[in-house]
Amino acid sequence: MMKLLIPFWTVIAVFAAYVTNPLARHYQEGQKITYHMKGVNEGWHYEVQANGVVKKDSDGTFFEEVGWSNMIFQGKPVALPSSSESFRQILTLDPNHKPSFPNIAQVDPRLVGPLTDMLTFYVDVSLAEKSGKLMEAGDHFYLKRGNPASWADGAHVLVGESSIDFDFTLKNIDRSKKTVTLLARHVPPEKPQVRLAADWMQKPVTDTPNNWVQIQKTHDAKYTVSVGKETFTDEIVLSLADGKILSATMDNLVETVERECSDQAATQCGDPSRHTIRRQIEVSLDK
């Protein structure tokens, strides 16, 4: 009987192709990427454009340098300050490049949401890819995180924290369309790590411990203090060819109790009122 001899390196190449992480990003230095983002935040509508270019750091790792422009707020174009127009956000899906959080104190408040939402999508993909546990459609991975993320700018928002765990599912791999879909749910940890200064803030607003807190300074030298439960459901479609994000959606729900207080420690406050925040975000790659 004649044996079919297959070169060793051919076997290795075939095996490597089979086990390649479907979420892996393959960067090309100089590649330009443009995203269009639409958002609805409690009835407020906006659109904005993110223009990025792939760069290589001195250590050989890759990142995307992103600028924001062409903002439309409530159907009307708005002029962003020059400091916001020149601001560059650093994003990366390179597992060897250290991620960075943007200095949101340097940008127009209307850009804080878009910057942090885009970062959220990148963090979702990065954590899911690094796990190495999402290789086939239907694979699931729960990541206990808990470390609070902050959106406080130190001027208007004095405290803004959310503590979440990640619940990942590789929803679909469509080889005909050369896409992979990641479902990332952000859920309250068993023991959230947000700072809850006053006793009344400890009482759960819904069915889990409170994992979201915000203290805003008002114009009359008082404070709006809110606490509650935050969840995200993010669905992200990536290219199987190079791992770049093709589109993404976010459904962000925050169920809160808020009080008007005369002190930042939230010990001298008025009656509580319930408030629900609903944000829905869409991002698409400009082809």
Q: Which of 62, 65, 66 is nearest to 29 (CA)?
A: 62
In a domain, 22, yes or no: no
Token pair for 271: 């009656």
Domain that holds residue 261: 28-285
In a domain, 107, yes or no: yes
> Which residues face 53 on adjacent strands?
32, 65
Kindly indicate the confidence band of residue 4, based on its pLDDT and cuts at 50, 70 and 90. Answer: very low
Among 16-20, 38-42, 137-141, 268-272, which is the least confidently predicted range?
16-20
In a domain, 46, yes or no: yes
Helix (H) or strand (E) holding 128: helix 109-131
Count of the separate structural domains present in the chain? 1
CATH no. for residue 240?
Answer: 2.30.230
Neighbours of 124 (CB within 10 A): 25
Q: Residue 249 and residue 38: Cα distance in Å, rounded?
A: 10
In a domain, 37, yes or no: yes
Q: Residue 235 and residue 251: Cα distance in Å, rounded?
A: 9
Q: Which of 247, 249, 250, 251 is nearest to 284 (CA)?
A: 247
| Residues 18-77: tens digit of each pLDDT | 458 999 999 999 999 999 999 998 889 999 999 999 999 999 999 999 999 999 999 999
Q: Using a pLDDT cut of 90, give the percent of the chain over it.
A: 80
Q: Residue 89 and residue 121: Cα distance in Å, rounded?
A: 14
Is the pLDDT assigned to residue 162 strictly greater than 90?
A: yes
In a domain, 5, yes or no: no
Q: Which of 116, 119, 202, 199 is nearest to 157 (CA)?
A: 116
| Residues 100-125: tens digit of each pLDDT | 888 888 899 899 899 999 999 999 99
> Which residues face 232 on adjacent strands?
186, 252
pLDDT attached to residue 19: 55
In a domain, 257, yes or no: yes
Q: Residue 280 and residue 232: Cα distance in Å, rounded?
A: 10
Is the pLDDT assigned to residue 17 strictly greater than 50?
A: no
In a domain, 19, yes or no: no
